């Protein structure tokens, strides 16, 4: 585009001033364009440089912190503690506070008064056994103990025993004087599962008698009557000289059949035993489990308090 014709009447200074302003405007426009392109170019470069310079960081998801569960120590049954105290308390006397039993009772229950026995009287308590524990409000317990006397009398005492939790689990103390209470009632026994009479001249009864004779009287080896894998050592030393099996009752009908059933058949029996030693005759009872194998019966378990002894196997 050709330049506009200059006015001949315009002074030379004005022309120069206009030229300077125009040159400044052109410079500003150039710098502005340069700044824009630099900013555009610098964006990706800066981003790339930042990505190269910064270490790659992978933030693994932090697993949820397991909630810490704190449980208070379980309140231990203080039956043994109450039994120990009652045994010492019944054998103590306020007139003999320095006796061993009086000192023991006072150490277990400092605030409980001792019995005031008659002069010259001696305690005829033979044994004290805890028979019942009942947890009351909070951590308080009431333990019932049975005291058996030399003349056959039996008294029951209720012993209050609060339980306080500590670092070891529990601590006990007797806070009140024992009270004489009625003894526990006799519960009705459940029906026995052993209702099948086993013949006294059968193979099963013969195996049971031979096993118990070896087990209690040491007559023969016990292992020969045991099923494979069962370990049941005999009582040592043998407590009896003679063992005779009386009634044998079974829980399964197959135990009463004359012929030994197929291998793997298992029966449970309750055996009444009469054992003799120098002191006399002792009626005993045993719960046994027998398993048939190769035409004979073998002892596979001997039960003690509803827990079967299988030589350490569960």
The candidate with the shortest Cα–Cα distance to 243, out of 298, 204, 284, 279, is 284
Average pLDDT value for residue range 175-186 = 89
The candidate with the shortest Cα–Cα distance to 302, out of 176, 201, 214, 242, is 214
Asked if 297 and 207 count as a contact pair (C-beta separation under 8 A), the reply is: yes
Cα 103-106-111 angle, rounded to 5 deg: 160
pLDDT for the residue 165: 52
**Is the pLDDT assigned to residue 170 strictly greater than 90?**
no
Domains and CATH numbers, the chain: 79-181 (3.10.450), 196-309 (3.10.450.540)
Q: What pLDDT, in 10s, does the model give residues 3-23?
A: 555 555 545 544 444 454 555
Q: How far apart are CA 107 and CA 85, in angstroms?
A: 9
Choose between 117 and 221: higher pLDDT: 221
Q: How far apart are CA 112 and CA 176, in angstroms?
A: 6
Q: State the pLDDT confidence band at 70, using cuts at 50, 70 and 90.
A: very low
Q: State the pLDDT confidence band at 115, using cuts at 50, 70 and 90.
A: very high
Beta bridge pairs of residue 180? 157
Choose between 208 and 93: higher pLDDT: 208
Both tokens assigned to 295 = 């035409």
Average pLDDT value for residue range 81-110 = 92
Which residue in this structure is represented by tokens 């054992």? Answer: 275
pLDDT for the residue 33: 59
Both tokens assigned to 110 = 């400092």
Average pLDDT value for residue range 151-166 = 84
pLDDT for the residue 265: 97
Q: State the pLDDT confidence band at 279, using cuts at 50, 70 and 90.
A: very high
Crossing angle for the helix pair 100-108 and 79-90, to the nearest 10 degrees = 140
Q: State the pLDDT confidence band at 67, using cuts at 50, 70 and 90.
A: very low
Q: State the pLDDT confidence band at 117, using cuts at 50, 70 and 90.
A: confident
Which residue in this structure is represented by tokens 């990706």? Answer: 44
Q: State the pLDDT confidence band at 186, using cuts at 50, 70 and 90.
A: confident
Mean pLDDT of the chain: 79
């Amino acid at each position: 585009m050709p330049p506009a014709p200059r006015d001949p009447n315009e002074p030379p200074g004005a022309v120069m001033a206009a030229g300077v302003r125009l040159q400044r405007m052109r410079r500003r426009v150039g710098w502005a364009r340069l700044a824009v392109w630099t900013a555009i170019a610098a964006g990706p470069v800066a981003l790339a440089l930042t990505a190269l310079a910064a270490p790659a960081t992978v933030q693994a998801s932090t697993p949820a912190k397991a909630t810490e569960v704190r449980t208070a120590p379980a309140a231990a049954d203080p039956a043994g503690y109450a039994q120990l105290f009652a045994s010492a308390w019944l054998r103590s006397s306020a007139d003999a506070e320095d006796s061993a039993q009086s000192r023991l009772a006072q150490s277990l229950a400092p605030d409980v008064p001792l019995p005031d026995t008659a002069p010259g009287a001696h305690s005829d308590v033979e044994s004290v056994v805890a028979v019942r524990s009942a947890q009351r409000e909070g951590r308080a317990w009431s333990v019932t103990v049975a005291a058996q006397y030399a003349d056959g009398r039996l008294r029951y005492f209720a012993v209050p025993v609060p339980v306080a939790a500590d670092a070891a689990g529990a601590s006990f103390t007797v806070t009140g004087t024992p009270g004489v209470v009625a003894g526990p009632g006799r519960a009705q026994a459940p029906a026995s599962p052993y209702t099948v009479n086993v013949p006294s001249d059968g193979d099963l009864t013969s195996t049971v008698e031979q096993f118990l004779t070896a087990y209690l009287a040491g007559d023969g080896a016990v292992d020969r009557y045991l099923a494979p894998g069962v370990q049941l050592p005999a009582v040592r030393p043998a407590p009896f000289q003679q063992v005779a099996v009386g009634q044998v009752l079974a829980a399964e009908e197959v135990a009463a059949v004359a012929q030994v059933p197929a291998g793997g058949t298992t029966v449970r029996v309750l055996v009444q035993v009469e054992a003799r030693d120098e002191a006399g005759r002792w009626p005993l009872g045993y719960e046994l489990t027998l398993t048939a194998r190769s035409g004979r019966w073998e002892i596979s378990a001997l039960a003690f308090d509803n827990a079967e002894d299988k030589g350490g196997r569960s």
